[in-house]
Amino acid sequence: MADRITVAGVSVDARHWIGGARVASAEKFTDHSPIDGGVLGEVARGGPAEAEAAVAAARAAFPAWAATSRTERARLLHAIADGVEKRLDELAIVETTDNGALLRSHRRGVMPRVAHNFRFFADWLLTLEHDDFDTRGHTNHVSWDPAGPCVLITPWNAPLMLASWKVAPALAAGDTVVLKPAEWSPLTASMLADIAAEAGLPAGVLNVVQGYGAEVGDALTSHPDVRRISFTGSVPTARHIAASAAANLTPLSLELGGKSPLLVFADADLDLAVGLAVEQYDNAGQVCLAATRILVEEPVAEEFTRRFVERAGQLTQGDPRDRATDIGPTIHPRQLEKIDGFVRRAVGAGARAVVGGHRKDGQYYTPTLLTDVAQDSEIVQEEVFGPVLTLQTFADEDEAVRLANGTRFGLAATLATGDPERAERVTARLVAGTVWVNCFFVRDLRAPFGGSRQSGTGREGGTWSFDFYCDLKNTVTAPEGWTDHG
C-alpha cells in the first residue's frame, strides 16, 4: 500500500496522525535506511496546513483530557507501556533500520526504557503533592494544572526514546500533544500513535505530524494555541525555535548539543577509564551526552593512550542488526560529510589521528581519536556528533577544570578518579547538568536532566517535568468567617 512502509515484515503507516485519523499529504519525502542507504519508502511531508490541523485537534481534545482524572490518565499511560512491550521487537527492528543504532541496544535497553518512561510518569503523577501552608490563617494550596497543547520536536539519534521522554510527562500532566519526529527517522513515532490509539487514548490527545522541520516547524512553534514547546536537537534550530516562540512567549524546554569532557586523573583505575572512553563510540558517537573530549593527567597519558588504541582496535563496525557489531553507520550521507569535514580540517590544522580518521564504505566512519589538538580549535569546541574523540592532557586539577569548562556547552561531564575527595572538589567546579563519577550514562527518571550554557534551558525529569508541562497555580483561601480586608 502506498501509504505504508514495510520494514523487516513490520508494516508502518507513513501518514500523519491527526485527531485520531490517518491524514495524507500531497507531498512526500523519501525515508532511507542508513544501514545500506536503501529506500524504505515515502512518508507524508507536512506543511503549515497539517501543523494547523494538528494543533486544532490537540486544542479540541484538551478540555476533556485535562478533566480526565489522574488515575485514568495513569491507567492509559500504563496501557501504552504495555503496547510498547508487546511490540518491542517490531519497534526495535524498525528503529534500527531507520536510524542505524544497534538492534541489540534497542531490544535490551532503549525500547524497555520507552515503556519505562510511560510507566514512570504515570506513577509519578499519582505522587505529585505539595504541602498546603498557612499565611496568617489563610491556606495556600498549590496545584499542577494542565497547560494545554504542547509541541514536542525530537531528533533522529534516539527517536522513540526521546519522544517518549516528552510525550509521557506531557500526557500525564493532562496536556495534549503534537509530536514532530525528525525526518531522518520518522517511523517509530507513527507506531507509537497506533499503540496509543490501541491503548484507548482519546482522539486528538496525541497527534503526529511528519515532515521537514523547516517546512512544518514555524507553523507549530509560532502558533498562539500552543502552550509549551519541548525541543531536543541542535543549537541553531533551537535559536530559530526560540525566535519563533517569542511571538507568543511560549515556554520552551531546550535539550541541545554537547561537547562533554571525560576527565581521567592519574589516580583512576585506568582500565575503567579506558572502558568509559571507548563507550563514547556508542551509537557511532551520535549521542548528545557523549564525552567526546578526553582529558588525561600527564603522568598516565601515554599508558592511557596505549590501552585505548588497543581497546578501540577490538571494536567491530558494521551492520547494526548483527549481534557482533559494536558500531553502526552514521545516520545520513550529510552527517557523514560533516564528520569527515571536521576531521579533515582538524588534521589539516595539525591534529594526529592515533585511531581511525577516515570514512569507510557506505555511511560508515571509523572510530577516531585525535591528539595534538588545541583547546581553541574547532574540533575541541564544536559538536561533531560522530565517532570522533579528542585527547588532551592536563597538569593539575586547575587545568583539568579550565579545559573541561572551556566550551560554550555544559551538558554532562564524566570523571575517572580513585579519590572521592577529588571527585567532590572537581564536581563542584564543573559546569554540567549531569556529572558521572567512575561511570557513564546511568540515568534515573527522578533526577533533573538538562544542560547548562548552550546545552539547553530548563530541566526535565521527575517533578521538574511536571513543573514544565503544568501551569502551577497557588490558591489562597481565607479562613471561614474572615472579614478583615485591611
Residue 207, interface with ligand NAD (CB under 6 A)? no
Residue choice 146, 149, 159, 233 for contact with ligand NAD (CB under 6 A): 233
**CB 209, CB 50: distance < 8 Å:** yes
Sign of CA dihedral 112, 14, 323, 415: negative
**CB 187, CB 163: distance < 8 Å:** no
Residue 342, interface with ligand NAD (CB under 6 A)? no
**CB 448, CB 459: distance < 8 Å:** yes
Residue 169, interface with ligand NAD (CB under 6 A)? no
Q: At what angle do helices 48-67 and 213-221 cross, to 10 degrees?
A: 40
User: What is the per-residue binding string for ligand NAD in 392-411, x denoting contact by CB under 6 A?
Assistant: -------------------x
For the CA atoms of 116, 121, 124, 129, what is the dihedral angle to 10 degrees? Answer: 170
The nearer residue to ligand NAD, 394 or 409, going by C-beta atoms, is: 409
User: What is the per-residue binding string for ligand NAD in 136-155, x denoting contact by CB under 6 A?
Assistant: -----------------xxx
Residue choice 451, 458, 461, 462 for contact with ligand NAD (CB under 6 A): 451
The nearer residue to ligand NAD, 83 or 186, going by C-beta atoms, is: 186
Angle among Cα 251, 253, 255 to the nearest 5 degrees reads 160
> What spatial distance separates the first Cα and last Cα of the chain, rounded to whole Å?
73
User: What is the per-residue binding string for ligand NAD in 97-126, x denoting contact by CB under 6 A?
Assistant: ------------------------------
Q: Which residues are catalytic?
A: 255
Contacts of 24 (CB under 8 A, 6+ apart): 3, 15, 16, 44
Residue choice 61, 92, 101, 241 for contact with ligand NAD (CB under 6 A): 241
Residue choice 13, 183, 297, 319 for contact with ligand NAD (CB under 6 A): 183
Residue choice 188, 232, 280, 283 for contact with ligand NAD (CB under 6 A): 232
Looking at residue 249, its amino acid is: L
86's enclosing H/E stretch is helix 70-86
The nearer residue to ligand NAD, 42 or 382, going by C-beta atoms, is: 382
Q: Which residues, 353 to 372, sit near ligand NAD by CB under 6 A?
A: none
Q: How far is the CB of 381 from ligand NAD (least distance, A)?
A: 14
The nearer residue to ligand NAD, 228 or 422, going by C-beta atoms, is: 228
Contacts of 310 (CB under 8 A, 6+ apart): none
Residue 387, interface with ligand NAD (CB under 6 A)? no
Q: Which residues, 284 to 323, sit near ligand NAD by CB under 6 A?
A: 288
The nearer residue to ligand NAD, 305 or 414, going by C-beta atoms, is: 414
User: What is the per-residue binding string for ligand NAD in 41-80, x denoting contact by CB under 6 A?
Assistant: ----------------------------------------
- Which among 407, 394, 396 is positioned nearest to 452, based on CA atoms? 407
**CB 211, CB 46: distance < 8 Å:** yes
**201 DSSP 8-state letter:** P
Q: How far is the CB of 455 from ligand NAD (least distance, A)?
A: 6
Q: What is the Cα–Cα distance from 416 to 221, expressed in whole angstroms?
A: 41
Sign of CA dihedral 473, 474, 480, 486: negative
Phi and psi torsions of 440, nearest 5°: -150, 140
Looking at residue 243, its amino acid is: A
Residue choice 214, 243, 246, 349 for contact with ligand NAD (CB under 6 A): 214
Looking at residue 80, its amino acid is: I
Phi and psi torsions of 377, nearest 5°: -80, 160
The nearer residue to ligand NAD, 158 or 351, going by C-beta atoms, is: 158
Residue 221, interface with ligand NAD (CB under 6 A)? yes
Residue 90, interface with ligand NAD (CB under 6 A)? no
Candidates 32-40, 60-68, 256-264, 354-362: pick the segment binding ligand NAD (CB under 6 A).
256-264
**Number of residues binding to ligand NAD, judged by CB under 6 A:** 30
Q: At what angle do helices 159-173 and 88-99 cross, to 10 degrees?
A: 130
Give start and end residues of each alpha helix (H) in 313-405: 333-348, 378-381, 397-404
Residue 261, interface with ligand NAD (CB under 6 A)? no
Residue 243, interface with ligand NAD (CB under 6 A)? no
- Binding positions for ligand NAD, rule: CB under 6 A: 153-157, 162, 180, 182-183, 213-214, 217-218, 221, 232-234, 237, 240-241, 255-258, 288, 383, 385, 411, 451, 456
